[in-house]
Amino acid sequence: MRRTNDPRKKDFEPSSIELGPISFYLGRHFGFCYGVENAIEISYKALEENPEKRVFLLSQMIHNPLVNEDLVKRGIRFIMDTDGKQFIDWSELKPDDIVIIPAFGTTLEIEKILQDIGIEIQHYNTTCPFVQKVWNRSYKLGEEKFTILIHGKHNHEETRATFSHSSKAAPALILRDITEARLLSEFISGNRKAAEFYEVFKDRYSEGFSVEKDLLRVGVVNQTTMLATETSEIAEFMKSVMVEKYGEENLKGHFADTRDTLCYATNDNQQSTYSLLETDADLAIVVGGYNSSNTSHLVELCEKKFPTYFINSADEIGSKNEIKHYDYPAREFRKTKNFLPSKKPVKIILTSGASCPDTVVDEVMLKLVSFFHDGKDPRELVEYVLKDL
C-alpha cells in the first residue's frame, strides 16, 4: 500500500501494525534493494542455465547467511570468504567454469586472474549499479586530476573493489570515519609531518601516494552501505578544510562535489530508521546478517534510543523470556532474559537490512506474536487490508 500510494517516498513515517497485546512499527523502507534482488536472481539463473557445469561465487553473494546457505545447497561453491581468504585456489578453476561476481563487485586484479584462466566474467556479473556509479564517478575524478577519498571499511569487499578501480584512475585513500578525516586534515594543513602519513594510513593508500602532491585536490566517494550522513559529514568537513587553506574563491580547484554517489536504497533505509526513532517503541529488533555493513548501521541508529537486538532469524528468539542477539560493537553474541516488557501493548520497532529477505522479517513477527495467547494473526490483518484495495 505504501509503495502504491507513495511511490516516490515523500513520506518516511513508519507503518504501525496493532495486533492486540503487541504492536509493530515498520520502517517505510527496509529489506532487499534492487542490487540485491538482481544479484540473487542472476545467481539462481546461473544454476538453472548451467546444470552440467561447476558454478562458483567469488565470495558471499550478499551478507545474509540464509540466502548464502540456500545457494550452497543448490550447488554453488565459494572461492573465498568475505575477508579475501581463499577456499579454492585459482589453479583449480577451469575455462568452462561459471564464476559469479557478487553485488559488491570485485577488484581489477581478480578480474584479470579470471580472464587469464579463460573464464567469461561479464555474463554473470551482478555488481550493483550503484557500486558501478561510484566507480564511474571515481574515473571522472581521476580524469579531472582529483585524489579519491573513499569513505568505507578497508577490509569490506565493496571497498576493496572500489579502491582497486579508483587506484587505476587516480591516487586513492580509504577513510573509515570523520575521526580519520580530521587526521587527514592535519597533513593537508601541514600540522603533521608527511612521513607520519604512511604509518597512520598504512595499507589504505594507493601505490606511490604522495602527501605533498596528492592532497591538493580531493573528492569523496563511499562504500554504498555506509551511513549517508557520515559520508556527507566527511565531505563537508573536507570542503571546509580546502576553503580554509585555499579560500572560497578557489574551492572548485581543490574540492569536487560528489554527493551524487550515495545509494538511494541505503539512504532510504537510513531515513526510514530516523523516522522510527521518533516513535514511542519499547525496543527495536533489527534483522540481517551479522557481517552486513548496512544492517549494522541500522543497529547503531536504533541503539541511540532503544534497547536493540540484532538477530539474523526468528530462531534466535528462544522464548518470550530470552533472545540471542549479536552485540555489534563488542563483536560477540549475548543472551538477554526478559527482553519483552510486561506492559501491554508491547511496542516493537521491526526492520531489516538490504540483504534480508522479507520472509525472514515475517517469521520474526509471527514468532513474537505467538508468545501472546490473545495476539491477533497479522495474516488476518493483511486479508482485511486487501479488501480495501
Mapping DSSP to helix (H, G, I), strand (E, B) and coil, where does residue 251 land? Answer: helix
The answer, yes or no, to whether residue 389 has pLDDT greater than 70, is no
Q: Return the CATH fold of 34-117.
A: Rossmann fold (3.40.50)
Residue 302: predicted pLDDT: 95
d(CA 301, CA 227): 10
Predicted pLDDT of residue 388:
66
Give me the catalytic one of 111, 157, 158, 316. Answer: 158
- Comparing 381 with 175, which gets the higher pLDDT? 175
Q: Are 175 and 198 in contact (CB under 8 A)?
A: no
- Average of per-residue pLDDT values in the chain: 91
129-262, which class in CATH? alpha beta
Candidate from 111-115, 260-264, 287-291 with smallest mean pLDDT: 260-264
> How sure is the predictor about 178, in pLDDT bands with cuts at 50, 70 and 90?
very high
In the predicted structure, residue 144 carries a pLDDT above the cut 90: yes
Regarding predicted confidence, which is higher, 7 or 341?
341
Q: In this structure, are residues 225 and 265 in contact, taking their beta carbons and an 8 Å threshold?
A: no
The contacts of residue 229 (CB under 8 Å, 6+ apart) are: 270
Cell 587527514, residue?
184
Cis ω for the linkage preceding 14 (within 30 of 0): no
Phi, psi of 218 (to 5 degrees): -135, 155
- Does the structure show a pLDDT above 80 at 242? yes
Candidates 109, 172, 115, 110; CA nearest to 139 is 172
CATH 3.40.1010.20 intervals, the chain: 2-32+265-387, 129-262
**What's residue 122's pLDDT?**
93
CA 238 to chain centre: 23
147 SS3 class:
strand
Taking alpha carbons only, the member of 311, 306, 309 closest to residue 281 is 306
Q: Which of 128, 94, 88 is nearest to 114 (CA)?
A: 94
* Residue in the structure block whose three cell numbers are 527496509: 30
pLDDT the model gives residue 354 = 80
Out of 4-8, 15-19, 154-158, 320-324, least confident range: 4-8
- What integer pLDDT is reported at residue 317 of this predicted model? 96
Percent of the chain at pLDDT > 90 equals 68
Q: Are 352 and 361 in contact (CB under 8 A)?
A: yes
- Which pTM does this prediction carry? 0.80
**pLDDT attached to residue 262:** 66
Of the two residues 292 and 76, the one the predictor is more confident about is 76
Q: Where in the chain is the domain with CATH 3.40.50.11270?
A: 34-117
User: For residues 82 and 165, what is the distance between their CA atoms, to the nearest angstrom?
Assistant: 18
Interacting residues of 108 by C-beta distance below 8 A, sequence separation 6+: 164, 165, 168
* Mean pLDDT in residue range 59-86: 83
Neighbours of 241 (CB within 10 A): 21
Query: Above 70 in pLDDT, residue 235?
Result: yes
| CA-based nearest residue to 98, from 61, 132, 52 | 52
- Of 63 and 40, more confident: 40
pLDDT score at 293:
80
Most confident of the ranges 95-99, 319-323, 376-380? 95-99
Q: Does domain 2-32+265-387 have CATH number 1.10.10.10?
A: no
Which range among 4-13, 208-217, 316-325, 355-364 shows the weakest confidence by mean pLDDT?
Answer: 4-13
For residue 263, is pLDDT > 90? no
Which segments of the chain does DSSP mark as H helices, in order? 2-5, 34-49, 65-73, 108-117, 129-143, 157-169, 178-189, 194-200, 211-214, 228-246, 264-276, 293-303, 358-369, 378-387
Distance of CA 157 to the CA centre of its chain: 11
Active site residue 230: no
* pLDDT at residue 7 in the model: 82
